[in-house]
Structure 1
């Protein structure tokens, strides 16, 4: 029987190093170094694991990793659970492009610039070029292209050859060299610049400029516009403010076309100093003053987009952007109600263009009665108190938009095609700001003066904007009883509401 081991320690006088002896059953046995004891104890275990590993390694490769299926086969039926295979976050990457793939060799190619759509102020080209800050149209028949006056301006005047020039294919080969950098996809080019620009206002940028440029792009589509791709880039080549105070312009671009590159003056100048020649696959040049110079009704109504409805485009030309906005904001594309939705843009907390207090209360009573009698679901919307997402979630599912003339009516852009806008003016006042957008969108538009509707035939015959003294005032009259009758009549006449 082994006794409990004990140790005796000799002090420093015994030779310096500490020596240990073990006592077994009272016998002094010469010390065995501890490392040998551990080796002797570990050897059988090491031998056992070696045998096991040797036998298994002969059948399983060293780089073996069990698959989900092989693991499942080792489980009992009760233990086995299906493994959820999630799709990748991003689709497989396209084949990698080489640096030289960004360039196109010119030798033996058709270099000619071609106008493919648009009207003055919104001209669309294929194969337009830029080099050192100058736009180049290449043509062996310059008369086939619009004049520079119809295309682009410097300030309010016609651009000169420091910004736009037409050259022949031979001149292009000499100037451009053997190859050009290809800017693929669609480009929107907003040419407005100092001393006068209106781009830093949501209405002027989004409704007048952007939406009209998109309609021109859509004009190239046959049938439906739903398969259109978003623009690849938006260019502001001048020293211009395009961001508005409330931040809606930048928010709009980032929400509706989030993958588009935004290039401002610094980026445009960077292209120029690079010395490269760039070829635009397709480009729409938006220029306010070109429109005013050549579209007769642009000056008549003081709106650059006054003739954009004349550009032939698919009926659903705006629907891709409407769906993009709803998709980006996670707004379900489903109705808010099984009844038509009326949204009243309430301006009573603003400092101008609002109803008389008593008429506002009468209108609210009328809207309440329209809802109480089961004709519609009504929303009283003070947009300044509502977040952007909530504003667009409401407007995109509104069927009838009601309000005093003002920027809130720009929400008509997001209503489905075939909706209705009721715009209230101070009596005798009129401007086509919002009617110009309802027309190409296929909406019905009603102009209300207190207790009458001014017919389209009347304002077209008159042919002028009218701004009476109280046009911007805070005492705009409207009859609540008349509005109730009008809204019920609109609902009854609209087939999709009346069943």
Structure 2
């Protein structure tokens, strides 16, 4: 009996010691994951050991600007009170010299423009000034974990741009995620916060909501009503860590964003490891495998080619070219050169769509939403975007961030990056037939190009299952 008691005692001492090492427990009750542990695995934001929810005024921490680019910015200890985001700092020079307008926009003005946020929306000041002006309550409620705040909002007949798979997942969410990884974070977001109404950020196909509920099942989804509730709550809130995405701030400040008319134009400047999308991809992989999806090639040496077929939509190939293209792909499939999938996404179950993206070595299609699925391909895959005589850089930016080999296709030639600008440096426009049902492709020429790019992917293997970085 005494021997058993000693064993129990030793086990308890060992467990407490291990817990102290892992979490760095303190006598004040505060704790956090040991840095060596957080480097080992990618954790849900809610995993972190909790601090007290309530912070007294004499313990208010200063706001820290971590990093950012125009329209995508990451901060620690950002305050929110009476509808205003407050930066409390004794070192304002550590924030972007452009001020609040680099980070956040106001509502549309009389000229239909979205100006920089004024002090009623986003203010930078010293803790003393905030106290003297009565902008803070005697205590604050801490919002733990990583928050993502999307400032897009529908005004009048102008879209919020959130009700679209590409514009939300492929632009604003992706920008916040890349920013987090660049800042060294290793957690999933604890909450997604919208300034827009739910009807303005739910896309028609409901892929955005599917993504949130399936890939981020433990993240809180906070719509405009919660934003409004906090505004009138007569409470001060502190966002532990927050990534802010503001499309109009990017367009207002960044020259490259203006040139390409793409809010994401600066995102490739954020340096991240090649594995930066692995945690998201691994969650989708886990879900797909749970539904018995086989994400591997049928034959190890035969690369998988997925065609995003848009023939049921308005922006599509002419019928003759579409038929010739399928004939060429089926021929290559029957000869064992490629493993081909003709994916009409509107007709496929949601998980099956993502399963095809996971297994694809090469993806191609006419410019459109389905090419956002390249996010879930293996890094270094091949992407072809078929378009009319013009050009839009949406999916080229995604490919650049993912490390894919990307080719824009004009009928029977590639349209390389050195032709994306006019002589004066401005971007070429989309052209009159860009969104038409009259897009052309030379099927035989294109099939040869697909084979060339696909064969280069034969040695590429599906990454081993891991949440490590």
Mapped pair 1:314 → 2:273: yes
Query: Could you tell me which of 367, 370, 388 is aligned with 1:405?
Result: 367
Q: 1:274-319, CA deviations, whole angstroms, 9 ceiling, x for partnerless residues?
A: 2221111110111111000111111111110111010111211111
TM value normalised by structure 1: 0.75
- State whether structure 2 residue 401 is matched by structure 1 residue 440: yes
Alignment of 1:348-387 (within 5 A): 348-350=311-313, 352-387=314-349
- Give 1:486-497 correspondences, 5 Å limit: 486-494=449-457, 496=459
Q: Which residue of 2 aligns with 1:278?
A: 237
* Structure 2 portions without partners, runs of 5+: 1-45, 108-113, 462-469
Alignment map for 1:17-96 (pairs within 5 Å):
none
Paired position in structure 2 for 1:251: 210
Q: Which residue of 1 aligns with 2:189?
A: 231
2:80 corresponds to 1:130? yes
Bigger Cα displacement from structure 2, 485-494 vs 154-163: 485-494
Q: Which structure has more RCO (C-alpha within 8 Å, separation ≥ 6)? A: 2
Write out per-residue CA displacement over residues 71-126 of structure 1, whole angstroms, 9 at most, x where no aligned residue. xxxxxxxxxxxxxxxxxxxxxx99998xx92112342x472211112211011101
Which of 146, 162, 170 aligns to 2:128? It is 170
Match status 1:264 vs 2:223: yes
In 2, Cα distance between equivalents of 1:275 and 1:177: 8
RMSD value, Cα: 2.4
Give the alignment partner of residue 144 of structure 2, picking from 184, 190, 201: 184
Larger Rg: 1
1:390 correspondence with 2:352: yes
| Distance of 2:141 and 2:221 partners within structure 1 | 18
Per-residue Cα deviation, 1:414-473 (whole angstroms, up to 9, x for no partner): 1111111111112x2211110111101111111111111112222256641422222222
Counterparts of 2:310 and 2:123, CA distance in 1: 48
Whole-Å separation in 2 of the counterparts to 1:248 and 1:488: 31
CA distance in 1, matches of 2:409, 2:137: 61
* Residue 335 of structure 1, aligned match among 296, 307, 322: 296
Describe the superposition over 1:176-215 as per-residue Cα deviations: whole angstroms up to 9, x where unpaired: 3553211111000011124242111221111111011100
Output aligned runs, 1:92-171, within 5 Å.
101-107=52-58, 109=59, 111-146=61-96, 147-155=99-107, 156-171=114-129
Q: Which residue of 1 aligns with 2:448?
A: 485
Distance 1:353 1:96 in 2: 50
Deviates more, 1:172-181 or 1:449-458: 172-181
* 8 A contact 2:361–2:454 mirrored in 1: no
Measure, in 1, the Cα distance between the counterparts of 2:434 and 2:151.
Answer: 32
Mapping for residues 3-22 of structure 1, pairs under 5 Å:
none
* Cα separation, 1, equivalents of 2:139 and 2:241: 18
TM (norm. structure 2) is 0.79
SS at 1:313 equivalent: coil
Show structure 1 runs of 5+ residues with no match.
Answer: 1-92
Alpha carbons 2:381, 2:457 under 8 Å: kept? no
Q: In 2 relative to 1, CA 392–94 (structure 1 residues): closer, same or farther, beyond 3 Å?
A: closer
